[in-house]
Amino acid sequence: MRSLRLVTIVMALTCGFTVANIYYSQPLLGLISRDFHVTEGAAALVVTLTQLGYAFGMILLVPLGDKVENRGLAAWTLLGTAAALAVAAFAPTFGVFLAVSVLVGITSVVVQVIVPIAANLAPAGQGGRVVGQVMMGLLLGILLARTLSSFVAAAWGWQTIYLISACVMVVLSLLLFRVLPKRYPHEPMSYPALVKSMLTLVRRHEPLRRRALSQALIFGAFTAFWTAIAFHLIAQFGFGQTAIGLFALVGAAGALAAPIAGRLGDRGLGHIASGAALVLAIVALVIAAVFQGDIILLGAGGVLLDFAVQTHQVLGQHEVYALDPGARSRMNSVYMFTLFIGGAISSAITGTLYAVGGWDAVCIFAAALPFVGLLIWAAHHVRHVRLARVLLGSRS
């Protein structure tokens, strides 16, 4: 077997470049709207449908990670992603582009096959660290995707990023075949039973339900911010595509949260850090609303929001993976399905909100989402403290 360090690097690169496919369109919505002659609200459907595709890929493909050989599943799915991206680059109509955007989302869930592999390969007691390193690659992909697609669009047109990414997917598929160790799960259930068993996992594990819902809320805030920001930067500052890309670059600092959050989870500090992340997200959106005319402070709000979202996600996955190591792929399916359903709903609402109420309406909506998540966190915290007091009282 290759060294864990090399395998971790390859998994991080694969996650980063693959998940970027979900976010390339966000800063390009103005160009897509212009070229296909549709409204800004209609163009925002690209983000919504890509995220919906990703969410349903969680249900259709990711559970196979507990059933079939993982390396082959990941590598062959990447080839499907490459094909969908190639079609997107040459889509003749907006309808076709929307349809293949769904396929891009479905096949990009290979990321969620790879993250549980990282957890399974990690030595005992180091799961948070290894998953955090892989997640850092994934998060850099999320945060740099908007910058990369903006620069490429400014130079060669917005379709070019889809062609480039298709080629990258083929290279990554070959690299996975060469570097990633084979992993054969031992789950005897049939595929339909495997998918159905996810409902059992949801009923059985309260932390899975709580973490998935909370992450969907804070991710919805993240999606609202980055879906509307391109429109706001154009309207408020007259930014072109290159300037939008430079602004998106500041969010990459949020990727530093992944390894930090992983270590906090390993040290048993995940619960407190999760509450802090939800508070930070609310503060970030207040800054973005109050100082919307100041590009520096607006960017600072974006950095803080990204940091909060990524911290909360890594801590959530750390807790969820520990619930049932034999069902990590299915656990991850439930967690990420809920997350991206939240993101898809948020992006759909954001398009309408921005058209009606502008940036202020988007920020109010986005801040309300992690606030609800904070209420869920607080309710759990109160129950946890009461239980601890009861246990201590019984021992005395």
Confidence of residue 220 (pLDDT cuts 50, 70, 90): very high
Residue 388 has pLDDT above 60, yes or no: no
Strand locations in 132-252 (E): none
- 262's CB contacts (< 8 A; 6+ apart) are 128, 129, 130, 131, 132, 133, 135, 314, 318
Quote the tokens at residue 77: 């799915």
Is pLDDT larger for residue 286 or for residue 310?
Answer: 286
Confidence of residue 364 (pLDDT cuts 50, 70, 90): very high
* CB distance 97 to 46 below 8 Å: yes
Return d(Cα 393, Cα 4) in angstroms, integer: 45
pLDDT tens digit sequence for 366-383? 999 999 999 999 998 887
Q: What is the pLDDT of residue 327?
A: 79
Q: What is the pLDDT of residue 129?
A: 65
Give me the domains of the chain, ranges plus CATH numbers. Answer: 4-395 (1.20.1250.20)
* CB distance 134 to 38 below 8 Å: no
Tell me the torsion sign for CA atoms 270, 214, 281, 226. Answer: positive
Average pLDDT for the chain: 85
Q: Provide the 8-state DSSP code for 29.
A: H
Residue 2 has pLDDT above 60, yes or no: no
Tell me the average pLDDT across 218-232: 91
Confidence of residue 1 (pLDDT cuts 50, 70, 90): very low
Residue 320 has pLDDT above 80, yes or no: yes
Q: What pTM value is reported for the model? A: 0.76
pLDDT tens digit sequence for 122-160? 666 655 667 767 777 777 787 788 888 989 998 999 999
Is pLDDT larger for residue 196 or for residue 291?
Answer: 291
Q: What is the pLDDT of residue 211?
A: 93
* CB distance 27 to 157 below 8 Å: no
- Residues of the chain by 3-state class (helix, strand, coil), percent to 5: 85, 0, 15
